[in-house]
A and B are shown apart, each in its own frame.
Chain A
Amino acid sequence: MAEANARPEDQPTRRDEQPAEAGDGTAAQPAARSGDRSGARSGDRPARLEVHDVAKSFGAVAAVQGVSFPLYPGEAHALVGENGAGKSTIVKMLAGVHRPDTGTLRVDGVDVDFGGPGDAKAAGIAVIYQEPTLFPDLSVAENIAMGNQPLTKLRQLDRKAMNANAERLFRRLGVPLDPARPARGLSIADQQLVEIAKALSSEARVLIMDEPTAALSAVEVERLFSVVRSLRDEGAAIMFISHRFEEITALCERVTIMRDGKHVATELVADLSVDDMIRRMVGRDLSALFPKQDVDPGEVVLEVEGLSREGVFKDISFSVRSGEIVALAGLVGAGRSEVMQAVFGVDPYDTGTVKLHGRRLKKGSPRAAMAAGMALVPEDRRQQGLVMELSIERNVTLPRARKLARLGLLFGGSERAHAHTWTQKLQTKLGRLSDAVGTLSGGNQQKVVLAKWLATGPKLLIVDEPTRGIDVGTKAEVHRLMSSLAADGLAVVMVSSELPEVLGMADRVVVLREGRVAARLERAEATEESVMYAAMGQEVAA
């Protein structure tokens, strides 16, 4: 993991750097950037939105420093970077959630100062988040009209006009949604389309999409992209944030790359290979993304036999040896997380047994599981993994507090030293240990969760989606860490929805489908096709 601090000799040049300006009074004309290839396509038009030399700090952490880039009408612009590179902070500033400490935002060449999300909306900026925020009990049409509902002459809500408006928007987007149905029960993909329709109804001219595809299937992504493309062709400026490079190449014309809160480059996507982008994001070459070392598996650590829970999973059996990584694969909703949460004891189960080192574990007791040497890095970092309001220190020491106490008492030093040791081991980037863990970036939060559990000295480590929403750099670090832990004799169970991760990391793959074991595959048998076939059943025989 030493490479994490290494910097490449060839620092990427800031080709698209804004020319220094005499003062804030002069209107920024991006067209003035002569000889800049990246501006060639759009250089003859003024920017719809311009981010100019903005900076934002949270406490001691500088989230964004001196970032500038323009967004042109009729263009889809990707914003990429590792977790903690400052992308979300940029989005929040554009959405009016945060105010830049320094620097300016310009809409159509005019400086703007957003006092809140309402101001950003009024300026024509709409943001679509990874998880849409609809009112579940209101109808789709009412959600779209939220904030500027049409009224009848008697000052009643005009549902007819609302539905007609929603209908028109859906036709324009080419999606078959019923405006009168409640938002509850819509898929995430459909919810996002409703959000887009909402943005259109408020005549947004800038559409910012923060990892919209994270929870979508391939078909849904394609539908979303065709909608976004048609909006772009109608002259909207699109900013698209994603960790998936194939989506960036498919959708975007230009890309802005950020690293450690700083602007690295803004270039035409066509001019960059995926490797180029990754190298600039992480500042180094990533040779092996999934470096699971071969290890001779040792004794059996975990034995799960006939585990069942009414309506959730049925008759699940598998075992894990020390030094082994066993992946639980399957579609979302196949019951993978539920099985592992039952094994760890945070959820109950009806029948079956869980044995660790041959000894049967007490049902439904995380404390017993921990005492026996089990650790679970859960799927949902914000709700299950960490207490966001508490300090980094308190989070790391939480499962360990009883061991750190002397005569039942805890006095400052031991907790701090413990937290310091383990956050350092995992190379967590942080300001102070007393800062709330919520102030860290996603990748660093995940490192805190790992630190918290590795510090308990587990014999069996369960990781549930260990790299979800994490940038490539941290992802490689996590993979390398898991591999070296396994090499040291740890038994690992990994729940993952990412096939390359499953295939690269796992010694064996257990595929679940609808709460049952659909297949058990050795490393040699596990291919993209064999895992997906098992996960989906007969449907993808072709």
Chain B
Amino acid sequence: MSDRVATLRSRLTSWDSIIVVLTVLVLVVASFSVDNFGTSRNFTFMVLDLLPIILIALPMTMIIVTGEIDLSVASTLGLTSSMMGWLWNQGLSIESIIPLCIVIGAVCGVVNGFLITGLGLPSLAVTIGTLALYRGLAFVVLGDGAVADFPFDYTGWVTGTIGGGAVPNVLILIVALALIFGIVQHATPFGRSLYAIGANAQAAHFSGIRVARTKFWLYVVSGAVAGLVGVLWTLRYASARADNGAGLELAVVAAVLLGGVSIFGGKGSLPGVLAGVVLLTALQNALRLEDVSGQALNIVTGTLLVLSVLLPNVTTAVRGNWQRRKLRQAAATR
């Protein structure tokens, strides 16, 4: 019984839960105090804003849990966007372009995965390299121009809502993918192995976990998702450009860390990350509605990120102190 209480208490004071509570708080306060925040129109905008971050954050969370990182995702997005425009100009049908683009993203992931797990290079260095490489290729493909004449059936679907109501179409996609990734990460043997790899790769290897293979597939999935996001991004703005999504990788990593995932691997949960993404987007959206400048937005995001790393340490220190004092008092009255 007390066992369950203790588990519950530690679960409630963990960063994952704090961030979920914080997110709900921001949403509630903003919908009451910020004009237009709670409108269905603004809700659609918010969902479209967080769409790229949240989708890329799903595989990114797994990669960071294994103690690695993928910084090339935004460039993969840019490359698929360019390819999408180029293929459209070649006269291919949109129905064949979309799966092709996802495959292109996956191939980018295969290259990352091979360099990291096949040749054993550090993922930070490799993906900084491919970040530049894929973006460069994107410009080779499309140059400075843009392709804009995608069919309205598709661009309209991305920005539209279900039956013209309040629920954006892409929300279905987000919920479905988040559910799949959440179940894989938290309720499958594969998900369990990610945490073991991140915390102690050698012990994982000794337990029969195929460490390299696992990481390789994570990069492939990460590339494929980045490819999908490249398609969605292009359709949303009805514009295929080489510089689409530039800098997005930092927003994704920031959101994942804000969600309580340890940059050293082995720790973190997907609900925390989802809350982290929503918190960041909602806060930026609300501040923008209040006409706060872009620089100020960056300051808020940065501060939040530092706090997310700082606060968990502070809470454990405080909790430890409090426990010690209690024990001392108990001993004094004995």
Instruction: Name A's B-contacting residues (CB within 8 A).
Output: 55, 57, 60, 99, 101-103, 346, 366-367, 369-370, 376, 378, 383-390, 394, 397-399, 401-402, 404-405, 408-411, 432, 434, 452
Smallest CB–CB gap between A261 and chain B, Å?
A: 14
State A452–B267 Cα separation when bound (angstroms).
Answer: 22
Given the interface pairs A366-B206, A385-B203, A410-B189, the reply to whether A101 lies near B327 with Cβ below 8 Å is yes
Given the interface pairs A102-B327, A405-B189, the reply to whether A394 lies near B200 with Cβ below 8 Å is no
Query: Is B192 in contact with A410, judged by CB distance below 8 angstroms?
Result: yes
State A404–B324 Cα separation when bound (angstroms).
Answer: 39
Query: Is B196 in contact with A390, judged by CB distance below 8 angstroms?
Result: yes
State A452–B210 Cα separation when bound (angstroms).
Answer: 18
Pick from B188, B189, B196 the residue with the most CB of A within 10 Å: B189
Query: Is A394 in contact with B327, judged by CB distance below 8 angstroms?
Result: no
Residue of B nearest to A415 (CB): B192
Looking at the complex, which one of B191, B199, B328 makes contact with A387 (CB distance below 8 Å)? B199
State A397–B209 Cα separation when bound (angstroms).
Answer: 12
Query: Is B193 in contact with A378, judged by CB distance below 8 angstroms?
Result: no
Query: Is B331 in contact with A99, judged by CB distance below 8 angstroms?
Result: no
Given the interface pairs A101-B324, A390-B195, A405-B189, the reply to whether A432 lies near B203 with Cβ below 8 Å is no
Query: Is B206 in contact with A346, judged by CB distance below 8 angstroms?
Result: yes
Query: Is B266 in contact with A55, judged by CB distance below 8 angstroms?
Result: no
Interface residue? B208 (CB, 8 A): yes
Smallest CB–CB gap between B263 and chain A, Å?
A: 14
State A330–B35 Cα separation when bound (angstroms).
Answer: 78
Query: Is B328 in contact with A399, judged by CB distance below 8 angstroms?
Result: no
Query: Is A434 in contact with B200, judged by CB distance below 8 angstroms?
Result: no
Query: Is B207 in contact with A399, judged by CB distance below 8 angstroms?
Result: yes
Smallest CB–CB gap between B328 and chain A, Å?
A: 6
CB<8 Å pairs between A and B, sample of 28:
A99-B324, A102-B330, A102-B331, A346-B206, A366-B205, A366-B207, A378-B206, A384-B206, A385-B203, A387-B195, A387-B196, A387-B203, A387-B266, A389-B266, A389-B267, A390-B196, A390-B199, A394-B196, A398-B193, A398-B196, A398-B207, A398-B209, A401-B189, A401-B193, A408-B188, A409-B183, A410-B191, A410-B192
Smallest CB–CB gap between A227 and chain B, Å?
A: 35
Cβ contacts under 8 Å, B189 to chain A:
401-402, 404-405, 408, 410
Given the interface pairs A99-B324, A101-B324, A432-B3, the reply to whether A383 lies near B192 with Cβ below 8 Å is no
State A335–B195 Cα separation when bound (angstroms).
Answer: 31
Task: Classify the secondary structure of B's interface with A.
Answer: helix
State A376–B203 Cα separation when bound (angstroms).
Answer: 11
Query: Is B266 in contact with A390, judged by CB distance below 8 angstroms?
Result: yes
Known: A57-B327, A99-B324, A401-B189. 9 other contacts (CB 8 A): A366-B207, A367-B208, A378-B206, A386-B200, A387-B199, A387-B200, A390-B196, A404-B189, A432-B6
State A383–B207 Cα separation when bound (angstroms).
Answer: 12
Residue of A nearest to B203 (CB): A387
State A398–B195 Cα separation when bound (angstroms).
Answer: 10
Interface residue? B202 (CB, 8 A): yes
Interface residue? B187 (CB, 8 A): yes
Interface residue? B98 (CB, 8 A): no
Residue of A nearest to B267 (CB): A389
Smallest CB–CB gap between B156 and chain A, Å?
A: 37
Residue of A nearest to B186 (CB): A410
Cβ contacts under 8 Å, A102 to chain B:
327-328, 330-331
State A369–B207 Cα separation when bound (angstroms).
Answer: 11
Cβ contacts under 8 Å, B193 to chain A:
398, 401
Looking at the complex, which one of A388, A404, A411 makes contact with B200 (CB distance below 8 Å)? A388
Nearest 10 CB-CB pairings of A with B: A102-B331, A401-B189, A101-B327, A366-B208, A389-B199, A387-B200, A402-B189, A367-B208, A398-B207, A384-B206
Pick from A367, A390, A452 the residue with the most CB of B within 10 Å: A390
Cβ contacts under 8 Å, B248 to chain A:
none
Query: Is B203 in contact with A409, judged by CB distance below 8 angstroms?
Result: no
Cβ contacts under 8 Å, B295 to chain A:
none
Cβ contacts under 8 Å, A409 to chain B:
183, 187-188
Write the B93-131 contact mask toward A (1 if CB under 8 angstroms, else 0). 000000000000000000000000000000000000000
Given the interface pairs A57-B327, A102-B327, A432-B6, the reply to whether A387 lies near B204 with Cβ below 8 Å is yes
Query: Is A367 in contact with B199, judged by CB distance below 8 angstroms?
Result: no
Query: Is A384 in contact with B331, judged by CB distance below 8 angstroms?
Result: no
Cβ contacts under 8 Å, B331 to chain A:
55, 101-103
Cβ contacts under 8 Å, B200 to chain A:
383, 386-389
Residue of B nearest to A378 (CB): B206
Cβ contacts under 8 Å, A411 to chain B:
187
Smallest CB–CB gap between A114 and chain B, Å?
A: 14
Residue of A nearest to B331 (CB): A102
State A410–B199 Cα separation when bound (angstroms).
Answer: 20
Looking at the complex, which one of B192, B203, B266 makes contact with A401 (CB distance below 8 Å)? B192
Cβ contacts under 8 Å, A397 to chain B:
192
Residue of B nearest to A391 (CB): B195
Interface residue? B33 (CB, 8 A): no
Cβ contacts under 8 Å, A405 to chain B:
188-189
State A383–B204 Cα separation when bound (angstroms).
Answer: 10
Query: Is B188 in contact with A410, judged by CB distance below 8 angstroms?
Result: yes
State A402–B208 Cα separation when bound (angstroms).
Answer: 11
Cβ contacts under 8 Å, A378 to chain B:
206
Cβ contacts under 8 Å, B195 to chain A:
387, 390, 394
Smallest CB–CB gap between A420 and chain B, Å?
A: 12
Looking at the complex, which one of B3, B191, B192, B203 makes contact with A384 (CB distance below 8 Å)? B203
Smallest CB–CB gap between B70 and chain A, Å?
A: 23
Residue of A nearest to B330 (CB): A102
Cβ contacts under 8 Å, B202 to chain A:
383-384
Smallest CB–CB gap between B206 and chain A, Å?
A: 5
State A271–B324 Cα separation when bound (angstroms).
Answer: 39
